[in-house]
């Protein structure tokens, strides 16, 4: 009997499964992607910051196994759902993966089992939408025959100090008994569990966390543009403000928002709020500012090229960094793709360099870029470009070298701070 089955073996599900396995739990990983399943069973990793050794250790110990067979849910005491929750083409919540997963596991639920949703979504998804699918498919009643809860994921990829075991776990249950079961489960793998009154409170907690980041990033993005017009370096200002020991938390500007959380999650609440006749003006304004950043950056690229009497149309532009965040191989919702497309549409010849993404993988959003390879890291290749645009600041990239090799640099991440080079560097 498995202690739990985790559905969705991506950036959330795999680290969670490993943490439970390390704490002597029997973990079954379920995914529709056979390649991921085969990799785990072979003790291999497909996520950069998760070592193959950490997977192999748990597989060889018999505590972790993976399958595409969802009927194996019947052999588990709990199921944790960690599947994508994107926006559709109309920027509306798409919970189809959550509901499809619910429908897939429902026939195999046994009385007393605990089902926990971790995918970020709007308040009411767990106790209304998912609950309905599970009850219809299983013939049982949530809160009576089986337990139902929501616990938002809190992953921070690329941060070596971020560990699943030490990040407090917020949990909300459909009933007090559901909450008790969920606390019991997570207490086996996480040092601190934070109970809240309901599934909706837990769902709202995750949205608040990401809305907070989105709004504050929008603030510094806006100030970046304002201060630039005044001849002030926003990065210098932020570093100075950081010295205040109270009442301030640093956020940093960039070329746009990326990842599967910050650009998406706030709009789950915006959409749901309309049902209650409520406006979410801060969220929408922050979204406008953040989504305008790629346009601002491309404008700065054009200005930089103009300064050396070159038009953007026909120029060769190298994008340095394609993942949405430093030191990870996660390119979901990366503003790098928007920049590549905007530059290409403007007539530029574009390429990218990213040590974490040797080749662009197939995806729903950027299928036409699939198969495009990162350029080689050498002087002869880099200096062929008219301009290098730094979009992500990886720690393992030598920016001194990049500046020395480049003809012109536009830096959106302050990666060139402290670097002295004959190459002109423009902040954007």
pLDDT tens-digit series, residues 22-32: 999 999 999 99
Q: Among candidates 118, 178, 175, 125, which has minimal Cα distance to 147?
A: 178
Both structure tokens of 326: 């430093």
Both structure tokens of 381: 């290749």
Q: Are residues 246 and 343 in the same domain?
A: yes
Residue 245 lies in a domain: yes
Residue 308 lies in a domain: yes
How many angstroms separate the CA atoms of 153 and 206, rounded?
A: 8
How many angstroms separate the CA atoms of 416 and 405, rounded?
A: 13
> Is residue 162 scored above 80 in pLDDT?
no
What's the domain count of the chain?
Answer: 2
Residue 226 lies in a domain: no
Q: Are residues 247 and 395 in the same domain?
A: yes
Both structure tokens of 406: 């480049």
Instruction: Give the mean pLDDT of 306-322.
Output: 97
Q: What is the pTM of this model?
A: 0.92
pLDDT on residue 333: 87
How many angstroms separate the CA atoms of 97 and 364, rounded?
A: 14
Residue 214 lies in a domain: no
> Is residue 251 scored above 90 in pLDDT?
yes
Q: Are residues 166 and 119 in the same domain?
A: yes
Q: Which residue segment(s) compose the domain that 82 sits in?
A: 4-197
Q: Are residues 420 and 289 in the same domain?
A: yes
Q: Are residues 270 and 186 in the same domain?
A: no
φ, ψ (nearest 5 deg) of residue 351? -150, 170
| Residue 392 contacts residue 322 (beta carbons within 8 Å) | yes
* Residue at which a domain ends, from 197, 220, 250: 197
Q: Are residues 192 and 243 in the same domain?
A: no
Both structure tokens of 141: 């009643």
Q: Are residues 391 and 295 in the same domain?
A: yes
The answer for residues whose C-beta is within 8 angstroms of residue 284's C-beta and 6 or more apart is: 270
* Residue at which a domain ends, from 171, 197, 223: 197
Residue 9 lies in a domain: yes
pLDDT on residue 257: 85
How many angstroms separate the CA atoms of 24 and 20, rounded?
A: 7
* Residue at which a domain ends, from 150, 181, 197: 197
pLDDT on residue 414: 97
Q: Are residues 276 and 176 in the same domain?
A: no
Residue 225 lies in a domain: no
- Of 82-96, 257-271, 272-286, 353-367, least confident by mean pLDDT is 257-271
Instruction: Give the mean pLDDT of 126-153.
Output: 97
Catalytic residues: 261
Q: Are residues 140 and 13 in the same domain?
A: yes
Residue 10 lies in a domain: yes
Q: Are residues 186 and 244 in the same domain?
A: no
Q: Are residues 179 and 302 in the same domain?
A: no
Both structure tokens of 3: 């202690």
- ∠ at Cα 264 (123, 364), nearest 5°? 120
What CATH number does the domain containing 106 carry? Answer: 3.40.50.720
Q: Are residues 148 and 270 in the same domain?
A: no
């Amino acid at each position: 009997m498995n202690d739990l089955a985790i559905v969705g073996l991506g950036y959330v599900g795999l680290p969670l499964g490993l943490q439970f396995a390390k704490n002597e739990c029997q973990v079954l990983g379920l995914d529709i992607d056979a390649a991921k399943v085969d990799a785990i069973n072979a003790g291999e990793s497909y996520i950069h910051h998760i070592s193959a050794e950490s997977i192999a250790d748990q597989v060889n110990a018999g505590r972790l196994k993976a399958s595409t067979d969802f009927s194996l849910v019947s052999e588990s005491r709990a199921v944790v759902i960690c599947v994508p929750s994107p926006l559709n083409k109309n920027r509306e919540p798409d919970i189809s993966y959550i509901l499809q997963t619910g429908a897939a596991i429902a026939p195999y639920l046994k009385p007393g089992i605990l089902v926990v949703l971790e995918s970020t979504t709007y308040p009411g998804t767990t106790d209304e939408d998912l609950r309905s699918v599970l009850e219809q498919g299983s013939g049982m009643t949530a809160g009576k025959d089986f337990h139902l809860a929501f616990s938002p994921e809190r992953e921070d990829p690329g941060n070596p100090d971020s560990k699943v075991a030490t990040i407090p776990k917020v949990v909300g249950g459909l009933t007090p008994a559901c909450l008790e079961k969920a606390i019991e489960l997570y207490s086996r793998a996480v040092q601190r569990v934070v109970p809240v009154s309901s599934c909706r409170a837990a769902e709202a907690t995750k949205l608040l966390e990401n809305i907070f980041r989105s709004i504050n990033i929008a603030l510094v993005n806006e100030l970046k543009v304002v201060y630039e017009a005044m001849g002030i370096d926003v990065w210098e200002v932020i570093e100075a403000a950081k010295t205040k020991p109270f009442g301030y938390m640093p956020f940093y500007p960039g070329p746009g928002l990326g990842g599967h959380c910050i650009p998406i999650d706030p709009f789950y609440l915006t959409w749901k709020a309309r049902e209650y006749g409520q406006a979410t003006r801060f969220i929408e304004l922050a979204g406008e500012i953040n989504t305008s950043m790629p346009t601002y950056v491309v404008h700065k690229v054009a200005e930089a090229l103009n300064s050396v009497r070159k038009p953007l149309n026909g120029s060769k532009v190298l994008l340095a960094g394609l993942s949405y965040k430093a030191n990870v191989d996660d390119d979901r919702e990366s503003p790098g793709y928007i920049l590549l497309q905007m530059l290409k549409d403007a007539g530029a010849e574009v390429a990218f360099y990213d040590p974490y993404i040797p080749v662009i993988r197939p995806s729903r959003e950027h299928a036409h870029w699939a198969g495009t390879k990162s350029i080689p890291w050498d002087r002869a290749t880099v200096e062929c470009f008219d301009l290098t645009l730094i979009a992500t600041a990886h720690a393992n990239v030598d920016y001194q070298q990049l500046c020395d090799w480049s003809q012109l640099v536009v830096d959106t991440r302050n990666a060139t701070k402290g670097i002295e080079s004959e190459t002109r560097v423009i902040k954007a």
